[in-house]
Amino acid sequence: MLGANLRGLVLRDGDVTLRPLRVRDTAALDRELMLNRAWLRPWEATNPDGFVSFDTRANIRALMAYARTGAGIAFAIEVAGELVGQLNVSAITHGSLSSAQMGYWVAQRVAGRGVTPTAVALATDYCFARLHVHRMEICIRPENDASLRVVEKLGFRHEGFRERYIHINGAWRDHLCYAVTVEEVPQGLLARWRAGGSDTP
Ligand SMILES: CC(C)(COP(=O)(O)OP(=O)(O)OC[C@H]1O[C@@H](n2cnc3c(N)ncnc32)[C@H](O)[C@@H]1OP(=O)(O)O)[C@@H](O)C(=O)NCCC(=O)NCCS
């Protein structure tokens, strides 16, 4: 299945907005990646072959091309209209699996304000409602307490442990795997979180 038409897509809750990343975000994204280098590096996916591209424009173009195949969506996370992070939905499959994965970061200066859980909930609800994704998965290094709090707050289920699963910051790293399926959030993930709890079994 080819990509959904993402033109004009805007997901919003309060002052947090998600919209597809675009080439004209290059300067703002470059700036955030530079300012937050030390903040992001321990959790950044790296290439086991050694080559890491710092060409932000080329990286955005590659993400947009990936989105056109229907396999993913790269969202800019904005707070009050300012780009402060990124959320990537990837590995979108349809048919009998109908699953997707998610990764994210925000600038250090907005950390701790619930921006990421809001963004994760908005994107998950969109994928469930509009792309017919049935299961959303997030994998996190056991050392990443802040990210573990994000899935905990949203009531993602712990599914298991994957050894040496993703190449992060220069080495293969173990990950904890979390997921939610559409049946668990009939009212939507954002609504469940806002209502003050998870109704996971
Ligand atoms: C993980 C991350 C995306 C969480 O985003 P966020 O928008 O800050 O999420 P929340 O506001 O829900 O905060 C989550 C936890 O971060 C911690 N935290 C809060 N303020 C913080 C700060 N200024 N600095 C570091 N951690 C902080 C708290 O433990 C918080 O949990 P709490 O709300 O129960 O106190 C963000 O810390 C980040 O971008 N980190 C670097 C990249 C990364 O780890 N990406 C995820 C890879 S799986």
166 ligand 1 Cβ < 6 A: no
Q: Mean pLDDT across the stretch 28-34?
A: 97
Q: Mean pLDDT across the stretch 192-199?
A: 78
Nearest C-alpha neighbor of 136 from the set 162, 175, 101, 166:
101
Q: How far apart are the first and last CA of the chain?
A: 32
Q: Which two tokens stand for residue 25?
A: 């975000």
pLDDT at 197: 65
CB burial of 169-181 (b: ≥16 within 10 Å; e: otherwise) equals eeeebebbbbbbb
Q: Residue 54 burial by CB count (10 A; 0-12/13-18/19+): exposed, middle or buried?
A: exposed
pLDDT at 3: 65
Beta bridge partners of 82: 79
Q: Mean pLDDT across the stretch 41-49?
A: 94
Cα 137 to Cα 36, 52, 112, 124, 195, distances in angstroms: 25, 25, 22, 10, 22
**184 pLDDT exceeds 80?**
yes
- From ligand 1's centre to the CA of 111, what distance in Å? 5
CA distance 68 to 100: 16
Rounded to the nearest 5 degrees, what angle is found at the Cα of 44, between the Cα atoms of 41 and 45?
145
Protein residue closest via CA to atom 26 of ligand 1: 146
Percent of the residues in the chain that have a pLDDT greater than 70, as a whole number: 96
Q: Mean pLDDT across the stretch 41-59?
A: 90
**15 pLDDT exceeds 90?**
yes
Taken in order of first residue, the domains within the chain and their CATH numbers are: 11-194 (3.40.630.30)
Q: Mean pLDDT across the stretch 132-158?
A: 98
What would the pLDDT profile of 155-166 be if each residue is shown by its tens digit? 999 999 999 999
